[in-house]
Amino acid sequence: MPPPLYIVWSMTSKRRQTGFAASLYELLSSMRFAIGLLTILAIASVIGTVLKQNEPYSNYAFEFGSFWFEVYRTLGLFDVYHSGWFLLILVFLVTSTTLCIWRNAPGFIKDMKAFRERATSQSLAAMTHSARIERALPADKVEAYLKAQGFSVRSLQRDDGLMLAAKKGAANRLGYFLAHIAMVVICIGGLIDGNVPLKLAELFGRASAEVRDVPQSQVPEKSRLGDGNLSFRGNVTLPENQSADVVFLNAGNGYFVQELPFIVTLKKFHVDYYTNGMPKRFASDVVVTDKQNGKETTATIEVNHPLTIDGVSIYQASFGDGGSGLEFAAWDLNRPLDKPVTLRGKSMNGQPLVIDGKRYTLEFGDFRPFNVESVADNSAMGVKKNLQGLLADASRVNHDKQVKNLGPSIQFKLRDAQGQALEYMTYMAPIQLEGHSYIVSGVRTQVGGPMSFLRYPLDAEGKLDSFMRLKNALQNPALYGEVARRAAAKAEAGGAIDASLARQFAGSVEWVLARFSQQGFAGLENFLDQKVPEEKRQAVAQTYVKILQGAIIDLQDVARRQAQLEPLPLNENSYRFLLDSLVAYSASRDYGSPLFLQLTGFDEVKASGLQMTRSPGKNVVYLGSLLLVAGILFMFYVRELRLWVLIQPEGNSRMAMASNRKTSDLDRDFDRHRDAIEHL
């Protein structure tokens, strides 16, 4: 009678389950599967090395664009070593390698212990290294010789004679075990430092990164990690005499607040520089206070010399500005004759500002006491052949790879009521080029775009007053008539024009001054492109440049006379100053700010960038690395040797030798042992 259907179905189901489990076990414990996982990990590690990890998402979006940013974000490439798929591969690799060890260990151990003393005479004769010894061998002497050579020996009396089976170098097989165990240990260390509990908490909604820019005290508990967190790596920037008991961990487009078991206070930050201004050494004097018992630890942290307390290592990562006091001379570019107003601020902070009834916000960035840059030593500020050359110099500072320390600088943004902002940089110290002094200021009109620099020329007293006086005169149309009449009189006296053209020439001077005053060189260029035939543009441009060069001399004389100052003698230096002023004035039309902030003083406050790391898996990885090195040494430098001597009663003996590596050393060892045994 056939069995009932439910029994047949149950038996079939069990066989399927057993078959699936066996197939899964076969897959996970196979060497090919482990090698495939290792290959994926190797590729991921290369990506993690090439692609800078754990940066704010905004940096990646700007660098790669929206499309590739989304692709890389989806793949988790911005934090490869903590991504879910990377940790999952580590779990599978640990499982696979462990099962591989479990599966092959019995056979390896059995093979390591086995002497193979039951090898037949035929199998010995078939070996590559085998020889007959046609004499009776003393078994005790042969055994003593083999032991003296470092072999372990086992004897077996058989029907065909006495078998002496010897072996040494069995630790070679141990190398395979150590190498595989090392992979498991290293992966476990990676999982520990991968902070799997936090990943699981995020997966199940028990933790989530904070994406708002709020004070850390307002960050909710869901985005805070206790000081018992398994592992973390975060950064904090501390100004001098400030303290911190948390660090911030980047997490995608947000962050976690990691509580520390102590409070770290920066007492003093030291930085030493080379003669060219490059930093040579920087260190932090800190006091670490334990939250539980109040114990204080004083230490100096330097690069490659971290401080470790309560399992947390504090590294010197960077340094910067900690909120320095700043003082400026604020020039009103719409009223250059007004004396500059003293303006005070603090770097890394913002403050409101009202200019001509309009509200602005002044947002100060980093203050830098040293700026090592390539500085131009160019002679491009002489008399120009055309307007395009002047216009190019108005928006560019050329470089000749001369590295110099330009001294202190400050970056800031001027934001209007609509939220639109331009970014500026101003150097405090004048820059010397060909014996002439300039105050350099840069403006960035697009986020991430290059900064365009302009140079304000300084007068013989090292001040901006002369340039500002000339700028005011250029912006005052009431002076154009007198300047034009003086220019026409000079041209007529020099024979360049006759009396009938004096009025027309004066009109041209006024027009050039007005056009230049309103739009700079760009205005003259546009007029030439629109109104003058191409074949005549070069000649007309040269005429305009000559008119402007002559008019600026007269304009300066008029401006100085109104200021009750003596006219300046016209020499090479004064002429260079006037040309530089024209270039600076034209470039300043695109400056975008109604103010020019000239940095005049500062009270530096340094800040130290500290990286706090808890990495318990580090020591586990170190242990795994030691095991891996030991395993490699055993595999490559320990040679397994097996030697058999079959002593037969009739005096017809057989010796054979085998090794896991067939090298020339094996040939020499075989000949040496055969000769020695034959003569025992």
- Residues 276, 344, single domain; the answer is no
Decide if pLDDT at 377 tops 50. Answer: no
Per-residue pLDDT band at 403 (split at 50, 70, 90): low
| pLDDT at position 8 | 39
| Mean of pLDDT values over 16-27 | 72
| pLDDT at position 364 | 95
Per-residue pLDDT tens over the stretch 319-328: 989 999 999 9
In a domain, 631, yes or no: no
| pLDDT at position 395 | 36
In a domain, 4, yes or no: no
| pLDDT at position 205 | 83
| Contact (CB, 8 A) for 262 and 235 | no
Q: Which domain holds residue 127?
A: 121-169+641-680
- Residues 313, 329, single domain; the answer is no
Structural domain tally of the chain?
A: 4
Q: Which two tokens stand for residue 288?
A: 């670490």
- Residues 523, 594, single domain; the answer is yes
- Residues 274, 358, single domain; the answer is no
Q: How many CB atoms lie within 10 A of CB 136?
A: 13
| pLDDT at position 599 | 95
- Residues 372, 496, single domain; the answer is yes
Per-residue pLDDT tens over the stretch 247-269: 998 887 889 999 999 999 999 99
Q: How many CB atoms lie within 10 A of CB 367?
A: 27
Question: Where are any strands of DSSP class E within 591-665?
Answer: 595-603, 606-614, 641-647, 652-659
CA quadruple 426, 429, 430, 433: dihedral sign? negative
In a domain, 632, yes or no: no
pTM, 2 dp:
0.70
Is residue 234 helix, strand or coil? strand
In a domain, 383, yes or no: yes
- Residues 516, 599, single domain; the answer is yes
Decide if pLDDT at 577 tops 70. Answer: yes
In a domain, 287, yes or no: yes
Per-residue pLDDT tens over the stretch 522-566: 888 888 888 888 888 888 888 888 889 889 999 999 999 988 888
| Among 39, 36, 44, 43, CA closest to 80 | 44
Per-residue pLDDT band at 391 (split at 50, 70, 90): very low
Decide if pLDDT at 134 tops 70. Answer: yes
**Strands 350-355, 358-368: pairing kind:** antiparallel
How far is residue 665's CA from residue 649's CA, in Å, rounded to a whole number? 32
| Mean of pLDDT values over 302-325 | 93
What pairs with residue 238 in β-bridges?
Answer: 608
- Residues 400, 439, single domain; the answer is yes
Is residue 493 helix, strand or coil? helix
Decide if pLDDT at 14 tops 70. Answer: no
In a domain, 634, yes or no: no
| Contact (CB, 8 A) for 517 and 474 | yes
| pLDDT at position 669 | 92
Question: Where are any strands of DSSP class E within 84-187?
Answer: 129-134, 152-158, 161-168
Decide if pLDDT at 4 tops 70. Answer: no
- Residues 559, 497, single domain; the answer is yes
Decide if pLDDT at 299 tops 90. Answer: yes
| pLDDT at position 402 | 61
Decide if pLDDT at 69 tops 70. Answer: yes
Exposure string of 535-564, with b = 16+ CB inside 10 Å and e = fewer, is eebeebbeebbebbebbbbbbbbbbbeeee
- Residues 257, 334, single domain; the answer is no
Alpha helices (runs of H) in 405-501, residue ranges in sequence order = 465-474, 480-493
Per-residue pLDDT band at 386 (split at 50, 70, 90): very low
- Residues 432, 544, single domain; the answer is yes
| pLDDT at position 385 | 38
Is residue 70 helix, strand or coil? helix
How far is residue 644's CA from residue 660's CA, in Å, rounded to a whole number? 15
- Residues 100, 73, single domain; the answer is yes
| pLDDT at position 211 | 87
Decide if pLDDT at 105 tops 90. Answer: no
Asked which of 19-28, 425-434, 474-483, 522-531 is least confident by mean pLDDT, the reply is 19-28
Per-residue pLDDT band at 6 (split at 50, 70, 90): very low
| pLDDT at position 383 | 33
- Residues 348, 363, single domain; the answer is yes
Using a pLDDT cut of 70, give the percent of the chain over it. 92
| Mean of pLDDT values over 468-472 | 93
In a domain, 267, yes or no: yes
Mean per-residue pLDDT over the chain, rounded: 86
| Contact (CB, 8 A) for 644 and 162 | no
In a domain, 224, yes or no: yes
